[in-house]
A = this chain, B = another copy of it.
């Protein structure tokens, strides 16, 4: 398949223009575009601009409000409860994370929980925002049910990701950004399209039995939580998925479990998020903390390698390397994504 590289800034402008055509104010369109294109920049294509048609569909069909009135329902010096008024998850996430950062600077810690939002893209976008302020950033979100609980067979909880970003100095910052399932559903899709088998450790058929056939997963099966089967402690991934749902959906009084809507369906999603910011200086001098982070990260990188391996990665490292390359050389897209983007461009009379 031929690959076309698109300049990052151009892609960002294009994406923002699409949202502006859908009546999203320029500021909000810019933020949404920033989150989506950052995913492509960081090599997380599953959460990037290839999702544009879905946003177009949802905005055109009033399933997402282009001009929501985000409301602070309850607020203290270190907590926030927000109603997103069914706006774009990216804008809500960005704004609530910024509020959290502000509060954490004054009050050491801030937790912000959000109901009535939408898919917010990569969780890492929000946790990373804290790094510029020398804070630890945390970002969680629930999502439509795709994962079966241990011993279950139906889709009961989302792939509910956890992101944590921690400042360092000489080393790249640690940025965890992980779904609490083993793989996303999109990966199962790719195997199905390529007519390849999946590892039998990833997902279940509609009887709740691990399967190597991706189509069996897509036809009423479910993803397995991180860990997989009970023998391999899959109940831990299931437990983490629940924890994310509790801090996002239940703490905010929004949707949780099977009540969270899918971006593919013609219903309101009511996705819920959780954001946290922690001021290291409330505990110890920032420079000492950063030095220890450098040391911990470095100790992993220089640790003895497994036979046949020549590198140990620390979380976020691969993504930063993608970012550096792609900012310089453009973001590579295959024909399929280019066609998707061209379709969106044509739809709005825009130039890609």
Contact = CB atoms under 8 A, between A and B. Distances in A.
Given A176-B239, A233-B226, A235-B313, A208 B305 contact: yes
B108 A303 contact: no
Contacts of A154: 303-304
A153 B306 contact: yes
Contacts of A235: 313, 315
Given A153-B304, A182-B233, A250 B312 contact: no
Most buried by B among A108, A150, A228, A236: A236
A148 to B, nearest CB: 7
A341 interface: no
Given A182-B233, A240-B176, A312-B151, A253 B292 contact: yes
A236 B32 CA distance: 27
Contacts of A293: 246, 250
Contact of A74 (B113, B257, B282, B300): B282
A149 B226 contact: no
Given A153-B307, A226-B226, A251 B284 contact: yes
A78 B156 CA distance: 35
A68 interface: no
A275 interface: no
Nearest to A166: B246
A164 interface: yes
Interface in A255-286: 256-258, 278, 280, 282-284
Given A153-B304, A153-B306, A178-B236, 8 more contacts: A81-B284, A113-B283, A152-B309, A176-B240, A176-B242, A182-B232, A250-B296, A252-B283
Interface of A: 74, 76, 78-79, 81, 107-109, 111, 113, 136, 148-154, 156, 162, 164, 166, 174, 176, 178, 180, 182-183, 199, 201-202, 204, 207-209, 226-228, 231-233, 235-237, 239-240, 242-243, 245-246, 249-253, 256-258, 278, 280, 282-284, 288-289, 292-293, 295-296, 299-300, 303-307, 309, 311-315
9 contacts: A74-B284, A76-B282, A81-B283, A109-B109, A109-B111, A151-B306, A152-B305, A152-B309, A164-B243
